[in-house]
A and B are shown apart, each in its own frame.
Chain A
């Protein structure tokens, strides 16, 4: 009962603020609404029984990515700037596209996912199991993707410095 109430509160926050994040006029407010959405998503992960993913979401998304966003906004905008809107006809077309996709995918989800609905008691995943799975080389273990991600991060750091440095 308690986790249902928490879920519906988080779901309401996510729905409202994700719509506000793409319709708000001020760019900094939009970033702030995105931060609320990311934090509520972290709450959903905790509700599903993945506390490690909760920590990663808070640290990487709500911490790192949002700091990058806010710095970029302060570097490229004057305070109080309004965001330019697209022409009305294009906004209507975009809204129709989004609603069509929403209705289509919603129909598919509602009429098919309900068939395979299973009640799962969300038990917490142990951090030892996650560590062994991340560091093993056997089947269903993820050492190779982990190393590839580390090389990708290194390439990304070097690339960002090369792109954004002063000439």
Chain B
């Protein structure tokens, strides 16, 4: 905390602050993943976790290897894969809703009629 206050006048945001933000985001995603019962809400929590990981990739790239692009492209590809995953997951959720008329995880107790 002392370093944060000491750095406040210098005009640069320390790396710890960025990592702290993504940490809060990731663990609120973990909490949501464990407590929510609707499939869509679980997907929202997963999106939060993926987004936190993207921030971490970019921050490590910027602060530790500023001349390279590995973290940048990992974040880019992670965003693309997350979009794919969301599309397939929502297709599956809509199919489930059509079959059992609900998207609650507690009522999903059979795979095929």
Chain B neighbourhood of A47, CB < 8 A:
13
Q: Is the CB of B97 within 8 A of A75?
A: yes
- Whole-angstrom distance from the CB of A145 to the nearest CB of chain B? 6
A127-167 CB contact bits vs B (8 Å, 1 = yes)?
Answer: 00110011000001010010001001100110111011000
Check A163–B73 contact: CB distance below 8 A: no
A15's partner among B8, B13, B21 (CB-CB below 8 A) is B21
Given contacts A22-B45, A48-B62, A106-B20, contact A156 B87 (CB under 8 A): yes
Smallest beta-carbon distance A133→chain B, Å: 5
Question: Are B36 and A22 touching (Cβ within 8 A)?
Answer: yes
| A133 to B76 alpha-carbon distance, docked (Å) | 13
Say whether B66 contacts A149, CB under 8 Å: no
Residues of A within 8 A of B8 (CB): 4
Q: Interface 1/0s, chain B 17-30, versus A by CB < 8 A?
A: 11111011101111
Q: Is the interface of B mostly helix, strand, loop or mixed?
A: helix
Min CB distance A63 to B, Å, is 10
Given contacts A69-B40, A86-B35, whether A145 and B82 have CB atoms under 8 Å apart is: no
* Contact A140–B62 (Cβ < 8 Å): no
Q: Which of A47, A97, A102 has the most CB of B within 10 A?
A: A102
The chain B residue with its CB closest to the CB of A93 is: B34
Partner of B28, one of A4, A21, A44, A77: A21
Residue numbers of B with Cβ under 8 A of A are 3, 8-21, 23-25, 27-32, 34-38, 40-41, 43-45, 47-48, 51, 54-55, 58-59, 62-64, 66, 68-70, 72-73, 75-77, 79-84, 86-88, 90-95, 97, 103-104, 106
| A-B residue pairs, 6 tightest by C-beta | A22-B32, A94-B34, A164-B91, A98-B31, A156-B84, A160-B91
16 A-B pairs whose Cβ atoms sit less than 8 Å apart in the complex: A3-B11, A7-B13, A15-B24, A18-B28, A22-B32, A27-B38, A34-B44, A34-B48, A45-B58, A56-B76, A60-B80, A65-B86, A71-B90, A113-B15, A119-B10, A149-B81
